[in-house]
């Protein structure tokens, strides 16, 4: 990539939550391939992601943090700035899913999903937003879902959280667009990750899902990378508050 490319991320620092596996890992690798230094945040070891990042030669910093509470969030921004000299891109990717029929859904599962998927996403965006507004520039990319558009079944808290992510993406875009901070989201369709293991293991659900995807296959985590680079780069400077599906055509059906 040339340094005149609007997709170039050279000199930028990106913080990605849930970067040890799945979609977060795919995004971290794509941002580094575009030139960004990356901060990998999560509760598990990042060894696999570090190995995938090594060929790209950008700086990598790892922060162990449990995002089910807001306690570590402000510290993540502070440590990123102190270690890598700035924070230009935040990717709010960490998320969980808990499945049960709505009539049986527990308050504990509701709180766990909402705390990680929505509350921590907001307060980490707030901490990053304060820094980005002060520097007059920044990119926030939230990982939403098809459940930001649709109802789904047996995942009430997940649907509420991801619908909330779409709403917050629009609200933050409205408040911060004029301050130089772009806030957008990506809505992944059905991707091969830990999050979808139970669905893929169920022959009926797997068949029904595949039968509806125009592309005829599950997505691979690396296939989110291009959309993430786009929304993290100057190429999207006049894009604010969109939720971009990357779904093999699911929503077009």
Q: Which is nearer to ligand NAP, 196 or 240 (CB)?
A: 196
Which residues form the interface with ligand NAP (CB under 6 A)? 18, 20-24, 42-44, 66-68, 93-96, 116, 143, 145, 188, 190-191, 193-196
Partner residues linked to 17 by β-bridges: 41
Rounded to an integer, what distance in angstroms lies between the CA atom of residue 173 and that of residue 178?
9
Q: Which is nearer to ligand NAP, 87 or 224 (CB)?
A: 224
CB 54, min distance to ligand NAP, A? 19
CA distances from 165 to 58, 92, 169 (A): 30, 10, 6
CB 208, min distance to ligand NAP, A? 15
Q: Which is nearer to ligand NAP, 33 or 63 (CB)?
A: 63
CB 135, min distance to ligand NAP, A? 26
Q: Which is nearer to ligand NAP, 87 or 187 (CB)?
A: 187
* Residue that has been written with the tokens 């980490």 in this structure: 124
158 noted as active-site residue? yes
Q: Which is nearer to ligand NAP, 13 or 157 (CB)?
A: 157
CB 233, min distance to ligand NAP, A? 20
Choose, from 105, 158, 190, 238, the residue flagged as catalytic.
Answer: 158
Contact 166/243 with Cβ under 8 angstroms? yes
Contact 141/230 with Cβ under 8 angstroms? no
CB 67, min distance to ligand NAP, A? 4
Q: Any idea which residues carry the catalytic annotation?
A: 158
């Amino acid at each position: 990539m040339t340094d005149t490319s609007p997709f170039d991320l050279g000199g930028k620092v990106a913080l990605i939550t849930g970067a040890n596996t799945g979609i977060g890992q795919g995004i971290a690798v794509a941002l580094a391939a575009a030139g960004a230094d990356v901060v990998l945040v999560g509760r598990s070891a990042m060894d696999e992601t570090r190995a995938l990042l090594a060929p790209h030669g950008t700086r990598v910093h790892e922060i162990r943090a449990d995002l089910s509470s807001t306690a570590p969030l402000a510290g993540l921004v502070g440590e990123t700035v102190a270690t890598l000299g700035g924070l230009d891109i935040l990717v709010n990717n960490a998320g969980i899913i808990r499945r049960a029929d709505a009539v049986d859904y527990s308050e504990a599962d509701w709180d766990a999903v909402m705390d990680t998927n929505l509350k921590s996403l907001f307060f980490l965006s707030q901490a990053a937003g304060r820094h980005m507004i002060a520097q007059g520039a920044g990119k926030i990319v939230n990982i939403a879902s098809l459940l930001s558009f649709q109802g789904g079944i047996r995942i009430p808290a997940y649907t509420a959280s991801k619908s909330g992510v779409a709403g917050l993406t629009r609200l933050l875009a409205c408040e911060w667009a004029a301050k130089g901070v772009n806030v957008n989201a990506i809505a992944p369709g059905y991707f091969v990750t830990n999050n979808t293991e139970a669905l893929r293991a169920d022959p009926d659900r797997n068949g029904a899902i595949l039968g509806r995807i125009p592309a005829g296959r599950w997505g691979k985590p690396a296939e989110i990378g291009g959309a993430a680079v786009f929304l993290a780069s100057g190429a999207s400077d006049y894009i604010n508050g969109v939720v971009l599906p990357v779904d093999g055509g699911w929503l077009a059906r």
